[in-house]
Amino acid sequence: MNDHSYLFRVSLLLAMAVAAGAGFGFAEPIEEPVSARYDDIGAVPGGAAGACTIIYYNLCSGWMRMLPTMGIGNKIGVVYDLASECTGGEEHECENIANYWYWYATGGAYGMFPNVSYSLFTVDENDCLVTGSGATAVVPMNGWNALPGLGSTTESRIALVATALGIIVKPITDDNVRNAAGGPACDGVGVGNGTSFRFRDTPGGPGICPPEVLADGLGPVNLLVRSVWNCPTATGVAGPQGATESSSWSELKRLFQ
């Protein structure tokens, strides 16, 4: 073996070792979800007058639940019942005006390529994903992220889905256990409504059908997502910042107290 050949092989092995080390550097061990104090980062404007802003999460205790980092290709999201929440669906067309999604984004999220995409999906009777709309890819910020409207639908139920394009974001939910012990503002609160799901949990793997409901020790938890819709017959009760919000679950959970 000549010197040039030897040096080439050594350089190649070193490069492979560095690449392998870099790969492990991005990996995180599987861990249990952890509780953290909610930090309201950034403004979260409500919808226009007459719009239907659907909110399922509850932060009455001031605590939230941080899930493990999403793997590339994993899908999570919220299934909205537009027929009951916004008097939409069943040939009543609803336009998705805007969405707001709360993430914990690690340092790598800043200044990098888009690593989360969002789209609307139709669902079947088991809330399994069927057909998705065009996706909007973004670089997430730590805290609230404002998303543009994603289209219109006449479906009675629709899913807002986030797909991980890079291993740098952690989903956030409310925290039933903390809420249940959270004092007067959380009176009667402790279990979510089962609308937040994990739709795929292996990179490139098949979808989960029926999807897995996100839950903690007491029951279902809700992703920190609010979605604003405009339907021809949209109704609701006066909500924060002059918007309207879901007149069922949001009232029941005494949001923003």
pLDDT-derived band at 107 (thresholds 50, 70, 90) equals low
Residue type, 84: S
Alpha-carbon span 89 to 94, nearest angstrom: 7
* Residue 11 confidence (pLDDT): 36
Phi/psi class of residue 20: alpha, beta or left (left: φ > 0; alpha: ψ in -120 to 50)?
A: alpha
Question: Which pLDDT value is given to residue 189?
Answer: 76
CB atoms within 10 A of CB 227: 28
Pure H helices in the chain: 3-26, 82-85, 176-180, 249-252
- List the domain boundaries for the chain: 31-252
Q: What is the rounded average pLDDT for all residues in the chain?
A: 75
Give the pLDDT confidence of 231-241 residue by residue, as tens digits.
Answer: 865 444 323 33
- Nearest-angstrom CA–CA distance, 81 and 76: 17
148-177 residue pLDDT tens: 899 999 898 999 999 998 877 889 999 999
